[in-house]
Chains A and B, each alone.
Chain A
Amino acid sequence: MIVRLMGEGQYRIDEGVRSRLNELDDKAMQALERNDEAELDGYLDQMGKIVRGEGTALELDDLHPSDLLIPPSDLTLEETRQLFSEDGLIPDLPIPAA
């Protein structure tokens, strides 16, 4: 399974790591819903640390898409929310004119 630390790079992780990430991800989501930025950042940092520590970095020229994307912890709450909206923080990819 491939996970991307947004703004950083991609890593391959195993199932054990994934289930630990899932637990933190749930807590991160709850923190976001409570508007608790400090706690959210803490969980995201922990997730990043796990991925960096236990995952294997993908070669830079690997073209596999990621299964999971972990947002960076230095976003504001509002930016993190925007990350998940269609016309939010992630820029649109250029679509060729018909």
Chain B
Amino acid sequence: MAGLMGRASTVVKSKFSKLLDKAEDPNEMLDYSYEQQLQLLQNVKRGVADVVTSKKRLQLQSDQLERSLVKLETQAREALAAGREDLARAALERKTTAQQQLQGLDTQIQGLEAQQEKLVSSERQLSAKIEAFRGQKEVIKAQYSAAEAQVRIGEAATGIGEQMADTGLAIQRARDKTEQMQARAGAVEELIESGTLEDFTSGEDRLDRELAQVSAQSQVDSELERMKAELGPGAATGDKKELPQ
């Protein structure tokens, strides 16, 4: 029984031989194949762009979650300072959920990064081979009769066919991965929209309002402190005012 290496090679070669068998006019086949190669090159470029777009979307979400973490942490502190441990706990629970999502996202972003690198490398290889193929194609068309051309085409055409299959596979896999990521990004967006990962101040439930109040109270307190400091000692107690030095 053939091993993995041989089998994979057989499949690719048989796919390409089908293409060669169909070609009655070698010149026409060369031109047709070249057009397909250019088409595939466009596809791989588009694939790279798609991966970059998905990556950006996940990065935006990741930034959003980072901000939620900071905000929830602050709110938990404020709640605790105001003696509301129940609210602090609720804020920290949300923070944990956000943290878990964030870790998941980071892994996905790295995954997309890897796909992007693979596609870019595949694009570079395909592009170099297409250029070489174009050169050979012109030589073959100019110098050989149809019958001779058929023989000459074989190796170059099989070589580029193998690259096309490989690049096609890379595009397909990147597409699958990107689709998975999109689904995941959609799920995280839903979580954010439903308020599960959002900070309390923007939410609508009772906890949200209470925490928002604590937060507002704490903000008022700190503003008061700041003003008192600006006005100098004794300002808030109605004592004789002194000008700050």
Contacts and interface: CB of A to CB of B under 8 A. Distances in A.
B128 A60 contact: yes
Given A70-B8, A84-B11, A96-B23, A29 B1 contact: yes
B170 interface: yes
B8 A29 contact: no
A90 B15 contact: yes
Interface string B126-141: 0011011100100000
A60 B5 contact: no
A68 B14 CA distance: 14
A63 B155 contact: yes
For the complex of A and B, 7 pairs with smallest distance between CB atoms: A60-B128, A25-B3, A91-B168, A63-B159, A69-B8, A61-B132, A68-B5
Contacts of B29: 96
A29 B2 CA distance: 9
A77 interface: no
A6 B136 CA distance: 24
Q: Which of A44, A92, A94 has the most CB of B within 10 A?
A: A94
Q: How large is the interface on A (under 10, 10 to 19, 20 to 34, 35 or more residues)?
A: 35 or more
Interface in B1-18: 1, 3-9, 11-16, 18
Interface string A57-77: 001111111111111000000
Given A29-B3, A29-B4, A93-B15, A65 B165 contact: no
A51 B34 CA distance: 30
Contacts of A85: 11
B125 interface: yes
A6 B129 CA distance: 16
Contacts of A91: 165, 168-169, 172
A13 to B, nearest CB: 11
A78 to B, nearest CB: 12
Contact of B19 (A28, A71, A93): A93
A89 B19 CA distance: 18
Interface stretch (B46-54, B56-64, B87-95, B116-124): B116-124
A8 B125 CA distance: 9
Contacts of A9: 121, 125
B227 to A, nearest CB: 60
A92 to B, nearest CB: 6
A25 B5 contact: yes
B91 to A, nearest CB: 39
Contacts of B169: 6-7, 89-91
A95 B158 CA distance: 14
B166 A93 contact: no
A86 B14 contact: yes
Interface in B77-133: 118, 121-122, 124-125, 128-129, 131-133
Contact of A63 (B12, B122, B124, B136): B136
B7 A93 contact: no
Interface in B159-173: 159-162, 164-166, 168-170, 172-173
6 contacts: A7-B118, A9-B121, A21-B5, A69-B5, A69-B9, A85-B11
